Each structure stands twice: as C-alpha cells, then as structure tokens.
Structure 1
Amino acid sequence: MPSSEQEPQQVGIEALKNHIRTHKIDVCLWCTRVLTMLCTFLHLFPIFGNPQSAYNKALIANAATSALRLHQRQPRMTPSRETFQAILLEDSCHYLIYSLIFMYVSPFTLVLVPIFCFSLIHFASYSLTLLDTIGQNSWWGARLLISLVELQSRKILSLIALTEILLMPFSFILLFLSRAGLLTPFLYSQFLIMRYKSQRNPYTRNMFRDCRAFFEDIAARPSTPQFIKVIIMSVIQFICKFAPPLPAQNAQ
C-alpha cells in the first residue's frame, strides 16, 4: 500500500527530470528570471551584500535572459541586413540593449521595475508548466500565487510600459546629476522608439496614447491656466515628432 501511494510522486519527479533534459534553454530562462527577481529584492532590501552589486547582477541576469530568449527567437543568425533588422524587432533584443544602457549608469531603483515585472510574469507562467509536469494537484499554494500574478498580468504590463516612458525624463535628470553618461538619454530614446514599434507588445504604444489623452483632457479643462495649456500642447507636439511610423498591421 505505501509503495502504491508513492508511485505517482516518483512518476512526477521523473517527468520533471525528463522535461528539464528536453527543455534546457527554457529551464535556464526560468533560473535567470529567478536570479533577476532575487537580485532586485537584495537591492531593495540589502540583507547581505552590496546593494549596488545586487543592482548590477539584476541587470546582468536580465541580459542573460534576453540573450537566451533572442537565441530562441533567432536561432540562425547570419551577417546580413535582414537578420539585423529582424533582431532589432525582437522584444528580447530591446531588453538586452536596456540592460547594457543602465549597466553603466549609477544605480537607480526605477530601472529594475520593468525587468523585475517581466521576470515575475514569465517566471509564474513557466512555474505552472513545471508544476503541471510534476502533477496536476501538486503545490496548490504555489498555483494560487501564480494565478494571482496571471490575473494581474495586464496591469503589470501597463506598469512596465509606464515605467519605460517615465525613465526617459529621468535619464536627463541622471545626466545632469552626473549619474549617467552623455549618450544615455540618446540610447534610451532609441530603446523607447523600439518599444513603441514592438509588434508583440503594444502596451508601450497604448500607454503613450493614454498619456496623451490624459494630458489633452487636462489642457481642455476651462480651469487650466493658459500658460499650462500651451506647455502641455507644445510638449505633446514635440514628442509626437519622434513617434516612428508603424507597420500597416499595427497602424490599423
């Protein structure tokens, strides 16, 4: 009787081992995302170690995640213009560039918000796959937490998009505070343009639209002073000049 009760667990563990052997890159991605979240936590709450070191390790772990994911999306890279353009369209390439930009900037906690949130969403999703491999009824507490993350995934993605936008003016502030290099705002603006044009993730583009509607509503209110209206509309027109054209399927 005891042996028959233990048999399903043994089958589940063997299935997990087989899954790890056959999905090595996916498991590595899961591990690097765990490391990103752990290092972010240690940066915010330096229980042990140096918070600046934890900050850098979080960015390095995210760069590793992005590189692995880019390898999955573009396994055959050839030295051609078409391949380079295809790579630049990948979200994983965007966040590889993001990690490299801020790796040479003094620690700024807001930078870790997007990479932590992305890691959390994908960690939860793949953790569910691993739990299903072990058994449908295993670790119900973990499944409950995962379901909470998945239910809030749209809000988390919107938070990521808002943070991406807010980091643009902050990059100039960091420059004036001598905490960032001269190229940081320019490089980050290119990153933001790539996020705006993303074919798989429209949240940054939608957040720009929502922000524009919000500020235009403020400008249209009778109680808003005239000079504030002029500033708001001037800033909106200035930003719109940098909005890149979208592919036909996204522009519709």
Structure 2
Amino acid sequence: MASEIDSADRLTPVLRPVRAGNGFEEALEQILQVLRLGLVPAGERLPAERDLAERLRISRVTLREVLKVLQDQGLVESRRGRYGGTFVLPRPDTPAGGSAGAELRRRLESVDVEDVLRFREVLEVGAAGLCAAHGLTDEGVRRLRAALAATHDAPLDDYRRRDTLLHLTLAELAGSPTLTAQYAAVRADVNGLLDCIPLLVRNLEHSQQQHTALVDAVLDGDADGAREVMREHCGGTAALLRGFLT
C-alpha cells in the first residue's frame, strides 16, 4: 500500500485553494474528482485533515462537513485509532452511491451540462443586475422579500421548489418576458440535474446566506454587488453538480 505522503503527492494536480465564496462546494467537487480519478485507490487513506485543509485553504470544520457528505454517500469511511483516518471505499456500481447516480447519468445523455450551467449564469447574473440597476416597485420589493422569507421557512423536502420560486421571481422582476421564459426553461434543466444529487444541509445554509446578500444588494440598488453575489451563487451550484457527475 502506498504511503500517505505518496498519496498526497498524487493529489497535487487536482487539489488547489478554493475560492472564498464557495469553499464547501468547491472542496467537495475537488475531493469527489480525486475519488473518481482513482488518485487514492480503494482501501487507501486520504491525506490527514490538516494537510487537506491547508491544500484547499478551508477550515477543518468545513473539511469535516465535506468528508461527512462523502461518508454518507458510501465513498469513504472514518476509522479511529493509531492507524485511523479517512479511507476510500470500493466504488459502487453507480455514481453518487446509488440509483440517483444512475438516473443522473441517463439524464446527462440528453443534456449539455456545461451549456446549461453557463446559460443559467448569464441569465441569473443579468437579471440580478437589472433588478438592482433599475429598482423595483413597492409590489416588486414585497414579492422579492416574501420569496426570500419562504426559502428561510422551507422544510427540507420543499426547499428546492421555494428556491426555484425565488429565482423565478427575480427573473420576472427584471422586466423582460423573454428573459423570464428562457430562465424558466433552463431552470427546469438545472432542477432535473439537482434532483439526482443529495440535498446537503451545509450547502443549503450557504445558499441561504447568498440569497439574503443577493436580495440586500438588489434592494440597495447595488448592481455590481448583486451580479457578483449571483455569479458566486451559480458557481456553487455548478461546483456541486460537477462534483457528483461521473
């Protein structure tokens, strides 16, 4: 069995510091890539938490949340003791640990994921900037705040629907029926992909922070800030999807 140092060396081409805005999602994406590529074979140990956290430039708390997701998906296991650590498990026959991964793979046959993600980002960033730059009516402000509040109160099994409604509300408030229609179509594609990966509480908490910052920027008339928050938000979703894709 290769040593932990050898294992760490093999990860150098893949692991890199993540961006501050989407640390959890991008760290998860990178470690999933390590596992998919077989850079740490089944039965071997991942580098120590301290090493991984330093490479990714995230806190060990965030790293442990990432490793917990991987453990829940049956991709790694934690062992205690002198020779403990996080060990890679044999890969299941389907990605993401089960039938959801197989369904995702089937959907990918008819969807250009990168095209969907890029088009979604263009529409969302544009809509956020337009809403902030042109301002909203009192009714628009009420609708946007209500949509945000609904996501905060959402039970886990209804979160994605309410998240979608928030984004659709923002697209509609941009004032372009064409943009709204195009966004509705691309969001349907995105949701079809998201439905095939697990809902991660840590990611949802992060999304909610971004949603709040986004709405604040829009209502403050900060177009640059709204666009930047939305770009970061879309990047987090993209990182998760790329991480779970095989």
Q: TM-score, normalised by structure 2?
A: 0.32
Report which of the two has the higher share of helix.
Answer: 1
